[in-house]
Amino acid sequence: MRIAVYPGSFDPITKGHIDILERSSKLFDVMVVAVVHNVNKQGLFTLEERVQMIRECTGHLPNLEIDYFSGLLVDYISRKGATAIVRGLRTVSDFEYELHMAMMNHQLLPEVDTVFIMSNSKYFFVSSSLVREAALLGADVSDMVPPNVAVRLKAKWEERRQERGPLR
Ligand code: PNS
């Protein structure tokens, strides 16, 4: 059985991530979406919210497992019995970071390889960090994230707006 892990922060999941998942899940028997639990980095959404949002918008993909991990990715990969890491690639600037990560992971666990999927050109500029920033300033990001995520981002914006008052 070919098991792959698609790790990431997913804070929040975007349409770019979903596109990578739709395409990569055809290449493997089981695709594990693994949300990193980084105790040193507070995200916009909690770990549980991120997992829940991924679950809500990926019901059409039958061979997905949604999970989270902390610590080293390669340790998690070994526990899952996976042989591949899936990552999406957008720009040249992604490439350098991704190359280093793939080489480090391969050095730590030679049985694992990283499979890169080129991002769909529609989502080339879409990143969770830019989506968060724009949404929290009131932008409509519904073209970039699934509807369930757009609703939650809007709620966060409302929450912050009430705390902060109107922008000038
Ligand atoms: O979506 P992101 O934030 O780009 O994902 C980065 C992620 C989670 C894949 C990476 O930070 C990671 O693998 N973290 C786990 C800790 C680890 O194994 N670090 C060494 C990787 S070379």
Q: Is the CB–ligand 1 distance for residue 99 below 6 Å?
A: no
Looking at residue 163, its pLDDT comes to 86
If one residue of 73, 108, 128 were mutated to test the ligand 1 pocket, choosing by the most ligand atoms within 8 A of its CB, it would be: 73
Instruction: Let me know if residue 151 belongs to a domain.
Output: no
List pLDDT tens digits, range 98-151: 999 999 999 999 999 999 999 999 999 999 999 999 999 999 999 999 999 999
Q: Distance between CA 36 and CA 132 in Å, rounded?
A: 18
How many domains are contained in the chain? 1
Range of the structural domain that residue 111 is part of: 3-124
Instruction: Let me know if residue 10 belongs to a domain.
Output: yes
> What are the Cα distances from residue 47, in Å, to 34, 41, 56, 117, 161?
11, 11, 14, 25, 23
Q: Is the CB–ligand 1 distance for residue 43 below 6 Å?
A: no
- Judge whether 17 counts as a catalytic residue: yes
Q: Counting atoms of ligand 1 from 1, which one is nearest the CA of 7?
A: 9
Looking at residue 2, its pLDDT comes to 97
Instruction: Let me know if residue 165 belongs to a domain.
Output: no
Looking at residue 166, its pLDDT comes to 74
Instruction: Let me know if residue 28 belongs to a domain.
Output: yes
Instruction: Let me know if residue 42 belongs to a domain.
Output: yes
pTM, entire model? 0.96
Q: Dihedral, CA atoms, 76, 19, 118, 42, nearest 10 degrees?
A: -50
Calculate what percentage of the chain has a pLDDT beyond 70. Answer: 99
Q: How confident is the model at residue 162 (pLDDT cuts 50, 70, 90)?
A: confident
- Give the chain's mean pLDDT: 96
- The span from the first CA to the last CA of the chain, in angstroms, equals 56
Q: What's the CATH number where 96 sits? A: 3.40.50.620
Q: Is the pLDDT of residue 21 over 80?
A: yes
